[in-house]
Structure 1
């Protein structure tokens, strides 16, 4: 059983963190500044760590305080949602939900789905971040993550749904091919200007090629003329005629259809990294989380044009 002592002071702590001031929190909560200060001191003593760095000019969360704040706000949001659900006697999604999406794929193909969803559920308050770095939902307190790339050994605390592997194709602008010629073999790529993806670790990401066995995939580092750390910027460089890129079809589908970008070496097109919808199992039964997981799970597609 959980002791009720663990709940004491959480609302005061969150209010102080939100407002950045004992005085402002005291006014909002109708308590004295002394009561607020003593409440925070008791909380810090109970959990055995300092939550705020205090100076004469400012009040800021410590690293431990930031972690504790994420947990506390999630707990309070769940309590609020539970009260609303009971009061309305329905399972309508309520409250805040944290979502993290891949930068380019997320903006192009997931955000429109989320916007459709919240239009149907106006009481939902999504907090959406975009990043291509590895995100740990457990550590960062994120309810739902869409991720390109992953692992075969998912932690037991995470639920996941595989919705395909991105399809990778070699492509260039018509102007580039007119000047430099069209490659006809894999070896021809060595003579061309190549555009790569710059990873967060500062290294250029490998290109993917078919392996010797069916379904096998090889990763190879290629010499690139330039590397950019954003998918859309990589497309822009290809459109501007700076070289050949290996790009996912979900990113260049419209450009291929319009003829602005031309596929080369179509026999070398291959599947790339897996794409997954991931969520915290501890929160999957909350109406807001379950409903959005179901909505996205039915519509996400690896090629980008989401299913209706």
Structure 2
């Protein structure tokens, strides 16, 4: 398993190099290596440091967050087609962005990114409160149903605000598509603590998730506190998926596909699925970003469009499999 993880990390490093090399303005690999460690403001240095390096770092952070969040969601809900959207995180973040744009007149990314994160936090908290009431509180099915209901309500609210204030759509539409080209490294620095905390909590839950996979009763018999584990997992998903959505907008299918690719290598052991999913999620986002820069003769395709093009057939194949459907 360790060897496979090292191979995945090596693949990620290759993707980082491709991300730094690829773009409308060609920069040789020798020049990239030179400007990485040089203090100058030549044209290649500006391209690498100001344009390609920020989106590469953002892509890695977003991919790690989505991969881990997706693996946690699939394990937490025992649903092989679950992704972070089950908890209404995307809808909550979109609602937060619209509140910032329409209600407060905030039009700059560094301003509304925090409202996106706050909206994701509130929606996830609401889902957990609803799903935790009554008998069988906190059960995966209850959380999934609560997330669907809350997400639908927030999507309706977002559509209503856009309809009432069409000017807000001009700013909102760039965020809602999902991309990693716009954020700056300063934003990543502000949100990095959330990524670190969320990732550490997620990775620490591997043994507990393995026990829960055997069933609630057997997991409890093995000494795993189900409410506490679910709360920690939900907290980690909130931080990770909320971070990714706030920084890059809704990017679909990465949180769905990365855990499945990880399990194809590791099997069901969550102690290995989680780190593999994190690395493979970063690989997927960077590859989609690089492909988006070269697939068109002029201009670029957003990351979310590429992940949807590749992820939609993957999703169809997945749901048609008898084991997944069961």
TM-score, normalization by structure 2: 0.19
The structure where strand makes up a greater share of residues is 1
Tell me which structure has the larger Cα radius of gyration. 1
TM-score, normalization by structure 1: 0.20
